[in-house]
């Protein structure tokens, strides 16, 4: 299963469109916060399932919370934006939260910096599709999942769209 992972789009729909022009064949997307309406745009415009969480610039709703568990393709994935876990300073707390949920993969955002740390659990941060802090280019990830196999992760850098 091919899954797009995107975060910190901050209302920049051109960045969402750019990511989708590169990764148009994803079976679903994970949007890990900052800006929930962008996740809704992605789902409605491209007719693809999006699993999303709220970030520190969002308000949770009855449909969108600050964290969630997704069981998919034989993997358990813990999703959070990360601001409630202090990810700017350490990944320890998000790792503990994922472990407590039995997740083998944790996906977060917030820092606008790409991270891929082998676990367990595997920790993934796709960086920012709109406002990167680690490169001049924006970023997102592609994750390929198969049951009982480690995920294949591709970090995608794209031109920064303003």
Burial class (CB in 10 A: 0-12, 13-18, 19+), 89: exposed
Q: Is the pLDDT of residue 162 over 80?
A: no
Q: Is the pLDDT of residue 47 over 80?
A: yes
pLDDT tens per residue, range 109-132: 999 999 999 989 999 999 999 999
Task: State the pLDDT at residue 61.
Answer: 76
* Cα separations in angstroms, 141 against 11, 84, 93, 126: 19, 22, 22, 5
Task: State the pLDDT at residue 108.
Answer: 97
The mean pLDDT of 97-115, rounded to a whole number, is 97
User: What torsion do the CA atoms of 27, 140, 157, 155 make, to the nearest 10 degrees?
Assistant: -80
The CATH number, out of the four listed (3.30.70.120, 3.60.21.10, 3.30.499.10, 1.25.40.80), of the domain defined by the range 2-158: 3.60.21.10
Q: Is the pLDDT of residue 160 over 90?
A: no
Q: Average pLDDT, whole number, for the chain?
A: 94
Q: Is the pLDDT of residue 63 over 80?
A: no
Q: With cut-offs at 50, 70 and 90, classify the pLDDT of residue 97.
A: very high
Q: Starting at the earlier edge strand, list the strands of the sheet with 67-72.
A: 67-72, 75-80, 105-107, 122-126, 114-117
Domain ranges of the chain: 2-158
């Amino acid at each position: 299963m091919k899954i797009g992972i995107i975060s910190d789009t901050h209302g920049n729909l051109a960045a969402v469109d750019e990511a989708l022009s590169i990764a148009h064949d994803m079976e679903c997307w994970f949007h890990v916060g900052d800006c929930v309406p962008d996740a809704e745009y992605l789902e409605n415009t491209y007719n693809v399932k999006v699993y999303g969480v709220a970030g520190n610039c969002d308000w949770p709703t009855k449909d969108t919370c600050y964290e969630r568990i997704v069981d998919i393709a034989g993997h358990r994935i813990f999703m959070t934006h990360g601001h409630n876990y202090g990810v700017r300073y350490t990944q320890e707390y998000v790792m503990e939260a994922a472990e407590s949920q039995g997740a083998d993969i944790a996906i977060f955002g917030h820092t606008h910096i790409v991270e891929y740390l082998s676990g367990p659990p595997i920790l993934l941060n796709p960086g920012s599709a709109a406002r990167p802090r680690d490169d001049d280019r924006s970023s997102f990830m592609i994750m390929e999942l198969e049951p009982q196999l480690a995920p294949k992760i591709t970090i995608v850098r794209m031109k920064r769209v303003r």
